[in-house]
A and B are shown apart, each in its own frame.
Chain A
Amino acid sequence: MAKKASVGPPDAAGAFDAPTAIGLLRTMWRIRAFEERVGVLKRADEVYGLIHLSIGGEGVAAGVCSQLRDDDAVYSGHRAHGHALAKRAPLERVLAELMGRSDGLCCGMGGSMHLVDVEHGFMGATGVVGGNIPMALGAALAPRLEGGDSVAVVFFGDGAVQAGHFHESINLATLWELPVILVCENNGFAEFTPRSAHTKVERVADVVAPYGLARETVEGSDVRAVWEAFGGFLQLARGGEGPFLLECLTHRLRGHYEGDAVAYRDALSADEWQRKDPLVQLTRVSTAAGWLTEDELAVIEAEARSEVERAVEFARASAYPPVELIGQLVYAAGTPS
């Protein structure tokens, strides 16, 4: 494969090389270790509310967010942990948020479905499916009106595509040519129901075809494909073009939420999961290319798991927020500059 001119992340996709792959593997292992630990914490009733894990989707989060800057706005949905971590939200504060603690990203006021980290441009997850899509368009208006080459990215599942605001947003994003990249994680299930029970259109890229926007469908387990496709769109969006749609075919290893009995589908065989696990896939690519050894991989995994354990201790030690916070945060005071 001809090597592309490397301008290197975080600005745009360059060559998919050893540092890129290792960086992605680190991010993906942090997400995997985080999500597995959260599943255990949920069963122990230490994290609160509905918990939607993204195991199986780490490649999309890492492949997209690793290329973004802090001034690029990312919006996510209810399955947001991986996106927040990949956008560099501090892991221990994400966990503290899930545990409702004062050191949480949002002081314990938001929780799993409402993670926000403005400092790193993670502008918010939302519990209302599809409601985040037009908000990302609003974020993309800022560089349109004020100048600059920042972009907006929104993650959503295929379940959001049947909602009215998706169609309103595609129309407006194309009409206004906004620098927004819509990243659909098509895992084939909307909550408990397969996509075939909700729509006749299998591919989200086909749903938006009449609007004529550039779009691509990739295997979400193929991190390199995600990284390259997104990087290409990002480079164009930085130049003021848009919108773009990247559809990533993913597999949701866990149920819709933790505790979901998952009676509506058959479990994957171990072999199938090996083929769909983005970590297994990228590991195979990286070791085959000689980018890192099994030992180095084991270190990456161990570091991720120990970071998560430290985060558990950090969050457990953090106090619950004071009751006074309920009334203090309803309105922003004063006039922002």
Chain B
Amino acid sequence: MASSTYVKAINAALAIAMRADPRVFVMGEDVAEGGPYTATAGLAEEFGTARVRDTPISEAAICAIAVGAAQAGLRPVLEIMFIDFITLALDPLVNQAAKAHSMSGGQLTVPLVLRTQGGAGTRGGAQHSQSLESWLTHVPGLKVVMPATAADAAGLMASAIADPNPVVFVENKALYFKREELPDAPPAVALGSARVVRSGDDVTIVALSRMLGEALVAADRLAREGVEAEVIDPRTLVPLDLDVIVSSVERTNRLVIAHEAVESGGLGAEIAARVQAAAFDSLDAPIARVGAPFAPVPLSPPLEDAYLPGAEEIYVAVRTSLGLAALGS
């Protein structure tokens, strides 16, 4: 075990995959220089700029190039610097990568990893702070991964690169430099396996990405008030490990779903729909969702702080689910 960070774990996972397989290569804007968050720092020095390819600001073309390269047998790891810019890459991602296997009758595979990062809290404004992952979960053929910890970032990256399908790997910029004890070789994490991060019998909290830390803060506060929350990190949105969530809800009878994305149309709606269909008789309260308001991310610090959901909102949602008033903090 050694002290590491989320971004270092990603960097190390990329290096391990590149050492193991010469077909793996990295491309994106500024990747040879390490990118704005150092996720690819040092890779060009070890593997050369043919395998760590800087690209112009041409998201549509570089995503399609990655698709073509994957179809030709290479294993591209493409970086789209901010998920906000994925709009420019959606044609190759949605119309080409996601459909190639099906449209070709199974002839083509697209072993592509699209790394990107989202999330607010850095005063980045409305075009550098979004959480757009739920769009991608609506596209059959894509897998969508959203690690919340350094260990999972490393383990999921290994599985994403090994996967024969296009995988969108959504990192969170606010987690990059959070310190975490990490084994030297974190084990691979299978896509589609949720993790029960904290056990409890009174309520289930499903928390995505950065909301996991917030949910754990809320759970500690609730525990001091005699409420034991079970906290689950789905880790991958597609495929979604519904079984772990449903079996938890069958025990706790209450569910709160937290994500940083706008609540309306977010993944919480999908999880809520699936859980009520699978465990309607187990529910003692309406499923609650915690997400951002239906508004673009504001710049001004007090406004952005008010906009972002966090431990307080999760705490209130749990208390409400239990029919309890929130206590003063």
Binding site for B on A (CB under 8 A): 73, 75, 104-110, 114, 116-118, 123-124, 126-128, 131, 133-142, 144-146, 152, 164-165, 168-169, 171-172, 175-176, 329-336
Contact = CB atoms under 8 A, between A and B. Distances in A.
A135 B71 contact: yes
Contacts of B60: 134, 164-165, 168
B100 interface: yes
A114 B96 CA distance: 10
B55 A172 contact: yes
Nearest to A102: B105
Nearest to A171: B56
B89 to A, nearest CB: 10
B108 A336 contact: no
A330 to B, nearest CB: 5
A48 to B, nearest CB: 14
A106 B104 contact: yes
B67 interface: yes
Contact of A109 (B55, B105, B165): B105
B324 interface: no
Given A172-B61, A331-B101, A332-B165, A138 B70 contact: yes
B100 A124 contact: yes
Contacts of B63: 134
Contacts of A117: 107
B92 A106 contact: no
B145 interface: no
Contact of A145 (B25, B65, B106): B25
Given A107-B106, A114-B104, A138-B67, 14 more contacts: A73-B68, A110-B105, A116-B103, A116-B104, A118-B104, A136-B68, A137-B64, A138-B74, A139-B71, A142-B72, A146-B74, A171-B58, A172-B56, A332-B164
B273 interface: no
Contact of B74 (A107, A123, A141, A333): A141
A335 B104 contact: no
Contact of A137 (B51, B68, B111): B68
Nearest to A115: B104
B71 A332 contact: no
Contacts of B56: 168, 171-172, 175
A138 B68 contact: yes
B3 interface: no
Interface in B38-97: 50-51, 53, 55-56, 58, 60-74, 76, 91-92, 95-96
Nearest to A329: B102
A314 to B, nearest CB: 17
B72 A139 contact: yes
B69 A139 contact: yes
Contact of A105 (B76, B105, B141): B105
